[in-house]
A and B are shown apart, each in its own frame.
Chain A
């Protein structure tokens, strides 16, 4: 099973539209021999935005496709789907229905909201239909979306507005998504500590672990103290907690430090001040690196002031532009 997760830079960045586009492409390419399953982290696909009271794109499941949602969302669809499995049990606040659409219909998708729940949902899909493409309407504020067990690749819907702060944030997110993977020897060391629950590890050049802690990194004063002691040595710092504004500022001058973030979602909260980003000296890499499948732009302005990665397909479903591919 291949899983593509969809995340957006902002609210109404076009995430669901991007998912529906990829869904349609997937159907055209592989309807007969490779079914598609649509799922969601939390709830997605309501017809109206609850906050802004405006219409949102509905999710139409095509005949033959699989989907996961809660029972309440299929109560009007009797006879139009066949149940393949129900996903429930300890750790689930709700039970979910895995079903195959027998006609085309619109439905609200709702899935588990935590990593274990999503993995359990994926397991149920995989056990039912092994060779399928699973499209997950995700959320960037769920850190587990960047874990390779959850996503094989990521589609990123990027809102480009005329607000400077929003654009800087979008650029930061793009940077985070395209960070390179940490060197193998560091990955091997971190892997040994993965199940211990540590949120930070400071590793010397010879592989010795100088510091480990389960405390949230930005609150961990001891972490800062030990990093200062080893400031001039070549060290690697693994972080499994948000790279906050204060951490970003603290580490900005650590020229010999390589920071390994657990996954790209941890980079989202850093300062958007461009000067801070420019003067950030440590190398930034990722422990869990999930390939960027494609970028979907939603432009409120005509300019595209961002540095877009050249090797990733860029789509603009709302507007023709030089980056538009395949539309």
Chain B
């Protein structure tokens, strides 16, 4: 099963950087019934139904101690009927379609027995009813149309004709060989040189004719009237047979016609159920969680993971814990403390929810986001002819339905600090309180805006003088904590960390001296 996201929703650069396709590969197991699935963004009602169904199924499976691996193994035997359904609808099923349908119903019955305590929402009687029709019309192994004694006799008579014709042709070929010495096989003609010594014998043979092909003669067969009659009789019997079979197949189609709508609904539900099993198996295997929805705009994430980063940092990786409410949430933090990673982790988690997937977290409770927008530090958009600044302004022009989530990295860093502060203030006080904004900023001036929740990335503790950047990165806490505006102002005033961190890099000595001087002054 190949999974992919519907294109156009997730920006390509983010899709690739966050390795969303790699995450999808966790769900890709061999399921013939779902060879390929495109995940589409879900609306609020749809998402609630989707995750509600998945959650209820997970509970039932746990309660009844059902082995998901067994369910998936049986599901693996179900044939894909997508190609067959239009023929079913149009009453144009052929015997090989009936064969596939029969096998599907047989395997589906096995699966339904395993699902006794978790039956599908669409009733399975339709499968029993179709099976009855098939039992009446086709052989037990579904390999052919069921024939009565007269029809079997007619087919046998065609075969007897064939055998008789074969025997007659064998005698015919032997007679040609006796008369000419040529071993010919009907119906293949043979070419012969115009001066061949056997030419006269061929001319004298009543079973052969010569056709002049320019440089050579072609020897063709002249069948006896007896063989010709046998062939004509066989053809007549075959035509009669073809008419009978056409009628028999039409009857199978007529008998099944009334079941199409319900069966196609059942088939759709069956596919959905098997996809649910795939998701639940991945939840078990990779410790994922099913998100739940709140009525008010909020995001509560516990131990949320960005798999790519976890893979890179292994032991040093810290999952994200975050509680966001409606309106503006402003995240401060020194450089290299993980502010952008917070935005990316949240975007990753919310995108999965949007597309109906479980998330790599311990718990996620959120209001369903109609849209999730991420604005990382931009150097502009050449394709649209926008500068970094214009690109950022354009981001804020996007439609903001209630509960939409906007994640913005370093607000208005793209202009001078004086105007950047003014623009930040203007936007932060004017943004909708129905949506959820998480912005990062370095401007202390915005701390005076009322009605904003402030967060900060926990800072490096103790002395920063390792001289080893890798070691330094391992000391970063990568944790978010809520903080008051007052406390944040104090921290910013006392903050010398960017200067101290800069000193850990192999800068020119003159630059280092300047930085050290500034540290000493403050």
In-complex Cβ contact of A90 among B36, B83, B196 (8 A):
B36
A320 near B192: Cβ-Cβ < 8 Å: yes
B180-194 vs A: 1/0 string, CB under 8 Å? Answer: 001101001111110
Q: Which residue of A lies closest to B2 (CB)?
A: A90
Contacts of B238 in A (CB 8 A): 103
Contact A82–B143 (Cβ < 8 Å): yes
Q: Hey, what's the 0/1 contact readout for A54-65 against B, CB within 8 Å counting as 1?
A: 000100000100
The contact of B96 among A17, A21, A71, by CB within 8 Å, is A71
Number of interface residues of A (CB under 8 A): 34
Given A88-B80, A103-B155, A319-B190, do A79 and B162 touch, yes or no (CB 8 Å)?
no
State which residues 277-327 of A face B: CB under 8 Å: 299, 301-302, 317-320, 327
- In the complex, per-residue mask of A97-121: 1 if CB is within 8 Å of any chain B CB, else 0: 1010011100000000000000000
A98 to chain B, nearest CB (A): 9
Chain A residues with Cβ below 8 Å from B188 are: 17, 21, 57, 317-318
Is the beta-carbon distance between A86 and B100 smaller than 8 angstroms? Answer: yes
Let me know if B159 and A103 touch, CB within 8 A. yes
Q: Is the CB of B162 within 8 A of A104?
A: yes
Most-contacted residue by chain B among A83, A102, A104 (CB, 10 A): A83
A95 at interface, CB cutoff 8 A: yes
Q: Which of B32, B96, B151, B246 contacts A89 (CB 8 A)?
A: B32
CB-CB under 8 A from B193, the residues of chain A are 302
The residue on A at minimum CB distance from B237 is: A103
On whether A79 and B155 interact (CB within 8 A), knowing A24-B185, A88-B83, A89-B80, the answer reads: yes
Judged by a CB distance under 8 angstroms, whether A129 is at the interface is no
In contact, B143 and A78 (Cβ under 8 angstroms): no
Contact of A79 among B35, B151, B182, B191 (CB under 8 A): B151
Contact A319 B158 (CB under 8 A): no
Q: How far is the CB of A117 from chain B (nearest CB, A)?
A: 14
> Does A29 belong to the interface (CB within 8 Å)?
no
**A-side contacts of B130, CB under 8 Å:** none
**Assembled-state Cα–Cα distance A78/B139 (Å):** 13
Main secondary structure of the interface of B (DSSP, over half): mixed
Contact B162 A63 (CB under 8 A): yes
A148 smallest CB distance to B (angstroms): 27
Q: Are B32 and A78 in contact (CB under 8 A)?
A: no
**Residue A74, interface by CB 8 Å:** yes
A-chain residues with CB within 8 Å of residue B144 when the two chains form the complex: 79, 81-83, 102
- Per the 8 Å Cβ criterion, residues 89-116 of B in contact with A are 94-97, 99-100
B90 to chain A, nearest CB (A): 13
Verify if B245 is at the interface (C-beta below 8 Å from A): yes
User: Which residues from 141 to 189 on chain A have a C-beta closer than 8 Å to any C-beta of chain B?
Assistant: none
B242 at the interface (CB under 8 A from A): yes
Is there contact, CB below 8 Å, between A83 and B95? yes
A75 interfacial by beta-carbon distance below 8 Å: yes
Per the bound structure, the CA–CA distance linking A320 and B197 in Å amounts to 12
CB neighbours (8 Å) of A95 from chain B are 83
B79 within 8 A of A: yes
Question: Of all chain B residues, which has the CB nearest A100?
Answer: B143
Determine whether B317 belongs to the interface, using a CB cutoff of 8 Å to chain A.
no
A299 and B192 CA atoms in complex are apart in Å by: 11
Q: Chain A, 64-88, contact with B by CB distance < 8 Å: what is the 0/1 string?
A: 0000000100111011111110101
Select which of B80, B96, B191 is within 8 A of A83 by beta carbon: B96
State in angstroms the CA–CA spacing of A76 and B188 once bound together: 26
A90 CA / B2 CA spacing, docked (Å): 9
Per-position contact with A for B151-183: 1 when CB-CB < 8 Å, else 0? 100010011001000000000000000000011
Docked-complex contact A86 and B162, CB < 8 angstroms: no
In the docked arrangement, what's the CA distance between A86 and B102, Å?
A: 12
Contacts of A301 in B (CB 8 A): 215
C-alpha spacing A84/B193, complex, angstroms: 47
Q: In the complex, what's the smallest C-beta–C-beta distance from B275 to chain A, in angstroms? A: 16
Q: Which residues of chain B have C-beta atoms less than 8 A from A82's C-beta?
A: 139, 143-144
A229 to B329, CA, bound (A): 66
Whether B241 pairs with A79 at a CB distance below 8 angstroms is yes
Contact of B151 with A103 in the complex, beta carbons under 8 Å? no
Indicate which residue in B32, B97, B191, B244 contacts A71 across the interface (CB closer than 8 Å). Answer: B97
Kindly report which residue of chain A lies nearest to residue B35, judged by CB atoms: A90
* B330 within 8 Å of A (CB atoms): no
In the assembled complex, the Cα of A90 lies from the Cα of B159 at a distance in Å of: 38
Question: Can you list 22 A-B pairs with a CB-CB distance of less than 8 A?
Answer: A21-B185, A63-B159, A74-B96, A79-B95, A79-B155, A79-B245, A79-B248, A82-B139, A82-B144, A83-B142, A83-B144, A86-B79, A88-B79, A90-B35, A90-B36, A103-B155, A103-B162, A299-B191, A302-B215, A318-B188, A319-B190, A320-B190
Residues on B facing A (Cβ under 8 Å): 2, 32, 35-36, 79-80, 83, 94-97, 99-100, 139, 142-145, 147, 151, 155, 158-159, 162, 182-183, 185, 188-193, 196, 215-216, 238, 241-242, 244-246, 248-249
Q: List the interface of chain A (C-beta within 8 A of B).
A: 17, 21, 24, 57, 63, 71, 74-76, 78-84, 86, 88-90, 95, 97, 99, 102-104, 299, 301-302, 317-320, 327
19 more CB-based (< 8 A) A-B contacts, given A83-B144, A88-B79, A99-B96: A57-B188, A71-B94, A71-B97, A74-B96, A76-B242, A78-B242, A81-B95, A83-B96, A86-B79, A88-B83, A89-B35, A89-B80, A95-B83, A97-B96, A102-B144, A102-B155, A319-B191, A320-B192, A320-B196
